[in-house]
Structure 1
Amino acid sequence: MGRIQIITIAASFLFLLYISRLIIKGRLREEYSIVWCICTIILLIFSFWRNGLAVMSELFGVYEPPNLVFTASIFAILIYLLHLSVVASKLHKQNKQMAQQIALLKNDIDQMKNAQKNNLS
């Protein structure tokens, strides 16, 4: 086993522990941690299986194994960015609705205060 393999395996295990710590502390939601865990596990698999990248690139018809890494990474990033865009759009819509509801409630409270002042006078 080469030095880079040992470093990669150790870094992957440390990253998995860090992800677990973030989940336990409530700083990372489970739905987002799944993506990080899957990517780290894939990295671990290819760290142990040295010829795995060559086998996978041959299976997908990619001439150079590093090109498969870049292509898969770019594809995964695009899918994840699309997911985050959907989540951000949903949160924006919810924030807008909540702000409108708060404004209506504030208006109702102001009207009640004015009505109460008029009744007391």
Structure 2
Amino acid sequence: MEKIQVLAIIASLLFTFFVIRLIIKGKLREEYSVVWIVCTFFLILFSFWRKGLDFVSGLLGIYEPPNFVFTTSVFVIFIYLLYLSVVVSKLQDQNKKLAQEIALLKQQIESKS
């Protein structure tokens, strides 16, 4: 096993433990941690299976494995950003509705006084 493989495995495992620690502390919700854990799983898989990246790239018709890594990373980032945009939009609507309800309740309390 080469040094870069050992380094990649150690870094991936440390990152996985860091994500798990954030979940336990309540700083990261489980639904958002799935993406990070799946990504580290693939990093660990391809760290152990050196020819795996070449194999998968060949199956998809991509001649250079680094191009596969880059393309896949960009695609995953775009999907995750879209998902987070949907979540933020939903939260913005909920905050607007709550602010309106609070304003109505405040008006009712003031009108009774």
Q: Which TM-score bucket, shorter chain as reference?
A: over 0.9
- After superposition, the C-alpha distances for 1:61-97 in whole angstroms (9 at most, x for unaligned) are 1111111001100100000000000000000000000
Aligned residue in 1 for 2:88: 88
Q: Which residue of 1 aligns with 2:103?
A: 103
Number of residue-to-residue matches in the alignment:
113
Amino acid at match of 2:55: V
Task: State the alpha-carbon separation in 2 of the partners of residues 7 and 69 from structure 1.
Answer: 18
Aligned partner of 2:58 in structure 1 is 58
Q: Could you tell me how far apart the structure 1 residues matched to 2:38 and 2:54 are?
A: 20
Q: Report the identity percentage.
A: 60
Structure 2 counterpart of 1:68 = 68
Aligned equivalents of 1:53, 1:61: Cα separation in 2: 12
Instruction: Please tell me the residue identity of whatever aligns with 1:65.
Output: P
Local SS of the residue matching 1:73 = helix
Cα drift, residue 28 of structure 1: 0.4
Q: Partner of 1:3 in structure 2?
A: 3
Which residue of structure 2 lines up, in the alignment, with residue 112 of structure 1?
Answer: 112
Q: CA deviation at 1:4?
A: 0.7
Aligned-residue RMSD, C-alpha: 0.5
SS at match of 2:23: helix
Q: Which amino acid aligns with 2:98?
A: M
Amino acid at match of 2:94: Q
Relative to the length of structure 1, the TM-score reads: 0.92
